[in-house]
Amino acid sequence: MLVLDKTNIIPYLRERYPAFDTSGPVSVSAIGDDEEDSRGLINYIFKVRGGGRSLILKQARANMRLDDDVESTDASYAPPQDRNYSEYLTIKLRRAITPDFVPEVYYADRENHVFLMEDVSYLKPGRSQLARGVMIDGLAERVARFLSDIHFYTTEFYLDTEEFRELGRRFVSTGMRAIMENWLFLRDTPTHQCPPLTRHFLPHIFAQDVVTQSHILRHKYMNTTEAFIHSDIHTSNIFASNHQLKVIDMEYTFAGPVAYDLGYFLASLVSQYCSAVFRPFPSEKERNEFKQYLLVSMYTLVDCYQRRFAAHWDDESKEVYRSCPGFRDAFLSGLVPDAAGYAAMPMFTLCVSSFGFTQEFEVIPDETQKLHALQLHCSLGRRFLMDRERIRTPRDIVAAVREGEKAYLSRIR
């Protein structure tokens, strides 16, 4: 296998992808060296500029990349290299369904585990914008549209049954799924070392009732094959402006429970909310406006998803499903408690991950306030997980966040 770096990428492109103009000045930079919001990258990603355009080159290697260009040599945690070609195919499939929300892919090299794709850095990562208090117009609605479209058009509600089953067989993603199944739900990996600031969270996160409910959700995640899910959709994997949005990093894709994607993105919004309660703002008015924006985004994410999925169902599902609107309603309402429970999984893991805290927490300069934000985050995760059967509507999600915030602040003030 050819290991690519800044010194050999240009000759590689000349040979393998001559459509990219390398006749004039060309620059190569490694994403993660000086890019914001790059913590937790497991692949080697390069940005190549030349001939008036820019592209991204992504390579999977035998060992997982960690922070600061350090590789994990633990074979039990190394994701399979063929994830790269699977990701290339999943991007192509998703782009066929939702071209406005998915980058273009140009070329795949299975031998060297490389693919080339559109550079979406003309947009900015959602997480870093939200961490600065930027309210991205229509963020939750556009994510809901992306998810509902991808999910519906890859369900058995729409596809021929055998076609649906073949899709699931083609994208099993056993190695990538194992990372989520063990790291996210069990919070048990060789690289898992809890940061000192949150070490006292461990007895709460590994309490027997939390562990039991985490296993229940893990079992559902492992055994539910409803649709093609992203499985790692959070605000760092969303590049957005007020007018455009692109979703990246689809290497964890497989047929799974659609509520998981909703919950995973919901968790990203909740983490921003917890940070906003404690991080500095120019004024309390701006703090409250941003918090309200996030609450509305949480509501909109689920509400818009349900409405759009229902519209697809009514217009395009197979007759056996169109003729039973009661099943449609039961299916969509049943997503909400599961989404709340799934949201708790990354909320717990974020607090004790060896990768460190995400950007919205790192922008809090005061360590005491940062700890409060993380404790609120963990307590909301517990509320989402243990009370999820009482969270039945988008409004209930917002109420759970507000009530959890109020309860936490009453304990510390």
Average pLDDT for 247-276: 95
**pLDDT digits over 9-37, tens only?**
999 999 999 999 988 899 999 987 555 54
Residue 302 pLDDT > 70: yes
Residue 82 pLDDT > 80: no
pLDDT value of position 194: 86
How many Å apart are CA 76 and CA 279, to the nearest integer? 38
Task: Out of 3.90.1200.10, 2.130.10.10, 1.10.10.10, 3.40.50.300, select the CATH number for domain 124-412.
Answer: 3.90.1200.10
pLDDT band per the 50, 70, 90 thresholds, residue 354: confident
Contact 344, 382 (CB under 8 A): yes
In this structure, which amino acid lies at residue 267? A
pLDDT value of position 328: 97
Q: The domain 9-118: what is its CATH number?
A: 3.30.200.20
In this structure, which amino acid lies at residue 227? A
Q: Six-digit token pair at 172?
A: 């099993």
| Crossing angle (nearest 10°) for helices 284-316 and 325-352 | 140
Q: Which helix (H) or strand (E) holds 266?
A: helix 258-278
**pLDDT digits over 134-164, tens only?**
999 999 999 999 999 999 999 999 999 999 9
Average pLDDT for 95-116: 96
Q: What are phi and psi of 28, to 5 degrees?
A: -130, 130
In this structure, which amino acid lies at residue 253? T
Radius of gyration of the chain (CA): 21
**pLDDT digits over 212-235, tens only?**
999 999 999 999 999 999 999 999
Give the closest residue to 187 by CA, choosing from 19, 351, 379.
351
Q: Six-digit token pair at 387?
A: 């009370």
Residue 4 pLDDT > 80: yes
pLDDT band per the 50, 70, 90 thresholds, residue 63: low
Q: Which of 28-42, 88-102, 320-334 has the lowest mean pLDDT?
A: 28-42
State the DSSP string of 290-319.
Answer: HHHHHHHHHHHHHHHHHHHHHHHHHHHS-H
**pLDDT digits over 384-402, tens only?**
999 999 999 999 999 999 9
pLDDT value of position 327: 97
pLDDT band per the 50, 70, 90 thresholds, residue 70: very low
Average pLDDT for 59-87: 64
Residue 43 pLDDT > 70: yes
pLDDT band per the 50, 70, 90 thresholds, residue 66: low
Q: What angle do CA 90, 93, 94 make, to 5 degrees?
A: 85
pLDDT value of position 190: 45
The residue extents of the domains of the chain are 9-118, 124-412
Residue 346 pLDDT > 50: yes
Mean pLDDT, the chain, integer: 91
Residue 67 pLDDT > 80: no
More confident residue, 383 or 182: 383
**N-term to C-term CA, the chain:** 59
CA atoms within 13 A on the CB side of 137: 4
Helices (H) and strands (E) in the chain, counts: 15, 12
CB atoms within 10 A of CB 39: 18
In sequence order, the 6+-apart residues with CB closer than 8 A to the CB of 179 are: 77, 79, 189, 252
Identify the DSSP state of 355. T
More confident residue, 41 or 324: 324
Q: Which of 150-159, 187-196, 324-333 has the lowest mean pLDDT?
A: 187-196
Strand-pair partners of 50: 26, 53
Name residue, tokens 């939702």: 98
Average pLDDT for 298-316: 98
pLDDT value of position 251: 87
Q: Six-digit token pair at 124?
A: 């900015």
In sequence order, the 6+-apart residues with CB closer than 8 A to the CB of 71 are: 61, 63, 64, 65
Residue 65 pLDDT > 70: no
pLDDT band per the 50, 70, 90 thresholds, residue 40: low
**CATH topology agreement for domains 9-118 and 124-412:** no
Q: Six-digit token pair at 127?
A: 């997480």
pLDDT band per the 50, 70, 90 thresholds, residue 189: low
More confident residue, 226 or 179: 226
Over 205-232, what HEC string results? HCCHHHHHHHHHHHHHHHHCCCEEECCC
* Buried b or exposed e, range 273-290, using 16+ CB within 10 angstroms: bbbbbbbeeeeeeebeeb
pLDDT value of position 34: 53
